[in-house]
A and B are shown apart, each in its own frame.
Chain A
Amino acid sequence: MRPDLFEHPDYYLLDELLTDEHKLVRDATRDWVKRDVSPIIEEYAQNAEFPQQIVKGLAEIGAFGPYIPSEYGGAGLDQISYGLMMQEIERGDSGVRSTCSVQSSLVMYPIYAYGNEEQRMKYLPKLASGEWLGSFGLTEPNFGSNPGGMVTNFKDMGDHYLLNGAKMWISNAPFCHVAVVWAKNEEGRIHGLIVERGMEGFTTPETHNKWSLRASATGELVFDNVKVPKENLLPNKSGLGAPLGCLDSARFGIAWGAIGAAMDCYDTALRYSKERIQFDKPIGAFQLQQKKLAEMITEITKAQLLTFRLGQLKNEGRATTAQISMAKRNNVDMALTIARDARQMLGGMGITGDYPIMRHMMNLESVVTYEGTHDIHLLITGMDVTGIPAFK
């Protein structure tokens, strides 16, 4: 890939709404992405390989659990800082951002929010330092958008639980040391269990041949009579609301992350449009190309305002699930549209790995599906405004 010359657009001077600390968080993350992600990511994505060294780097920069309190190894930063980090990391690659989202919001967050003190002390510092990588098992082969129907289950065997079932499409699964797994007890209530690699009957086959998130590892979690110690049950929350609470946190990060991917596509297309000459003019001089660029920067700016306000609400503990759904849905769709337009603006060059656009575009096809599909988020908004669920 070419040298990473990225400069972020800031059409409405949003930097003025950020604190010096926010800007330091963002710029430091960007410096890290430019140094350690951009130069290698294209090759790993082309080879469909997970860049293992990135785990250590993400841990060093503090991307695992940035908002988890420092006594558990996190950085204790606010939600806007978390969002800005996700923006910068996804600007590099959605797959790398996915690794962070899973570790921070889907593994560390439930252990922090629903776990007891022993569980927090046992797992969080090792997850923050990257010594352990975690995964989050909710989706099953027959239950994607409808996770409440899950069949993975556990039985109380007196001194331990016996876990059976399988999870599918699980990010980080092939390399994870621990998995936060959602399963039903004998009464059919959903609980979170911490399953560790090495437990007998627990395997994690990798999912191959993805055209999307190729630099992130995806796989299955298979439980065949796995004996899970009783102290591995997350005690402080159960029911479908527990995993959905984690998803709120991850989707918040995705809403910011998508802006990063969109900015990278816009920045690349804008630069290219000034350099590429056709009919004796830079292509940026043609109205059709200007329309694309103008619409891109308009949509990026709107998305930035949406997430900034959402970040304020989240800092105050007031962001609702429906508000987060709206931002996730809007921003990922916005990023996909921008990626497609930006790709066209680069002509044939746009399909090559010399530029990041095609990789972003393919990655975003996963992002628009995972953590609640584009349709499901619309139904959440619909339910929120009418009071009538239309899922079934």
Chain B
Amino acid sequence: MSLEQCTVCARHETLYQELDAFIEKNRHRPGALIEVLHKAQSLFGFLPAEVQAFIAKQLGIPESTVFGVVTFYHYFTMKPRGQNQVKVCLGTACYVKGADRVLERLKEELKVGIEEVTQDGRFSIHEVRCLGACSMAPVVLIGEKDFFGRVTPDEVPKILKKYRG
């Protein structure tokens, strides 16, 4: 993906400036890279190759190092994510209780696949492992806090509606 194609980046000239300022301030701190990546992801929403290359250049470290760290932590993502990340637990307990059917229904409702963003940018779907809420299986988590337990496929539209605004 080159810079021209990446509309997100083109729109965000100012975001680069903000990121650069942040890098300048933090470059000598231990663990600067992780903090810079956090900042970048909060600014851009995700970490496309261009942003990573920019960070590598500004910090004077190899691009491969940045890439290695980005792919190491699940928290970082190279793909755009929706404003609301819908995470479906596919851990053993949830799976046994039919999480796969919930997932299928979600895909139908949102018309996107796993790790994809809806056209309006509002949702993206993600698979996760056991969320530690097996007693409520199957579990769907939206964002970082909104847990939905014992979800059936038919409840899916109702749940999504709350976030459609």
A and B associate in one complex: no
Listed in ascending order, the chain B residues whose CB lies under 8 Å from chain A are: none
